[in-house]
Amino acid sequence: MLLSEMKAGQSGIISAMGGTGVLQRRIREMGFLKGTRVYVEKYAPLKDPLELIVKGYHISLRVEEAAQITVDDVKQDFL
């Protein structure tokens, strides 16, 4: 499942990352690494961007950027 397809309150484990060099490097520098747990906290009112929690940090990503990240082991979660 793509990270951009997840709903608020779901979490999963990052399994793959797409994108080009600059985008991929930027996302990795923010902590989006294979095997990392990511939690979708909420979407903005117009569904872009989305707010995520990665390694205890709140990070906002555009939906088009989140579509480059594949997530496995998705489950409904409440922090």
Residues sharing a CB contact under 8 Å with residue 47, sequence separation 6 or more, in sequence order? 63
Q: Write out pLDDT tens, residues 11-61.
A: 999 999 887 888 889 888 888 999 999 999 999 988 889 999 999 999 999
CA separation for the pair 14, 35 (Å, rounded): 5
The answer to whether 21 and 74 are in contact (CB under 8 A) is no
Rounded-to-integer distance, Cα 32 and Cα 30, Å: 6
Q: How many domains does the chain have?
A: 1
The Cα 59–Cα 40 span in angstroms is 10
Digit-coded pLDDT (tens) for 20-30:
888 889 888 88
46: domain range? 3-76
Rounded Cα distance between 42 and 40, Å, is 6
User: Where residue 30 sits, what CATH number does that domain have?
Assistant: 2.30.30.90
